[in-house]
Structure 1
Amino acid sequence: MPLAVAVWGVVLLCVLLPAVAWGCAGACTTAAVGVLAFVCRRSHGARGQRDHGGFVVVVLATMAAAAACVGFALPAREAAMRWDGRVVEITAEVTSSASVGRDGRLWFEAATTTVGPPGHPADSSAPVRLGVDPAEGFDLGARIRAVGESSATDAGEHSALVVFASDAEVVSPASGAFGVAAGLKSAFVERSLRLPEPGSGLLPGLAVGDTRAVTSALNEDMRISGLSHLTAVSGDTVIDGGGLRT
Structure 2
Amino acid sequence: MTPRDLRMIPVAVATWVAALAAVLRPEWAPGVAALLWGSSAAALAAVAILEIRHRRRKRRPELVGPSPGRFALLLPLLAVACAAAGIASAHVAIVHSERAAVAAVLDGRVTDLAVTVTTKVEPSTGGVRFDGTATTPDGSARISVLLRTDDPPDGLDLGSIVSVSGVGEPADPGDAAVAVVFADGLNVRAPPQHAFAVTSQLRRGFVELVRRGLPDPGAGLLPGLSVGETSGVSDELDADMKASSLSHLTAVSGSNCSLVGAIAFGICAACGAGRRTRVVVSLVALAGFVVLVTPEASVIRAGAMSTIALLALLTGRRGAGVAVLSLASTVLVAADPWLATSYGFLL
TM surpasses 0.5: yes
* 2:232 equivalent to 1:213: yes
Letter in 2 for 1:197: D
- Per-residue deviation at 1:136? 2.4
| Number of residue pairs matched by the alignment | 230
* 2:95 equivalent to 1:77: no
Instruction: Report what 1:117 is aligned to.
Output: none
1:55 to 77, 89, 95: 77
Query: Which consecutive residues of structure 2, in runs of 5 or more, have no partner in the other structure?
Result: 1-8, 55-67, 254-294, 299-347
Query: Which consecutive residues of structure 1, in runs of 5 or more, have no partner in the other structure?
Result: 115-121, 239-246
Instruction: Report what 2:180 is aligned to.
Output: 162
- Per-residue deviation at 1:201? 0.9
| Identical columns (%) | 34
Could you say which structure has the greater relative contact order, defined with CA pairs below 8 angstroms and 6 or more residues apart?
2
Inter-partner Cα distance in structure 2 for 1:9 and 1:237: 18
Inter-partner Cα distance in structure 2 for 1:14 and 1:162: 21
Inter-partner Cα distance in structure 2 for 1:6 and 1:100: 36
Inter-partner Cα distance in structure 1 for 2:139 and 2:166: 16
Aligned residue runs from structure 1 range 1-246, under 5 A: 1-42=9-50, 43-45=52-54, 51-83=73-105, 85-89=107-111, 90-103=113-126, 105-114=127-136, 122-132=137-147, 133=149, 134-194=152-212, 195-233=214-252, 236=296
Are the structure 2 counterparts of residues 148 and 210 from structure 1 closer, same or farther at C-alpha, using a change threshold of 3 Å? same
Structure with the largest fraction of strand = 1
Deviation by residue 1:31-79 (Cα, 9 ceiling, x = unmatched): 1112222221222245976553222211111111110011112112211
Letter in 1 for 2:26: P
- Per-residue deviation at 1:83? 3.6
- Per-residue deviation at 1:100? 1.2
Q: Is the 8 A contact 2:155 2:188 kept in 1?
A: yes
Letter in 1 for 2:193: S
Q: What RMSD, in angstroms, separates the aligned Cα atoms of the two structures?
A: 2.0
Q: Is the 8 A contact 1:77 1:126 kept in 2?
A: yes
Inter-partner Cα distance in structure 2 for 1:160 and 1:38: 41
Structure with the largest fraction of helix = 2
Q: Output the TM-score relative to the length of structure 1.
A: 0.86
Inter-partner Cα distance in structure 2 for 1:145 and 1:126: 15
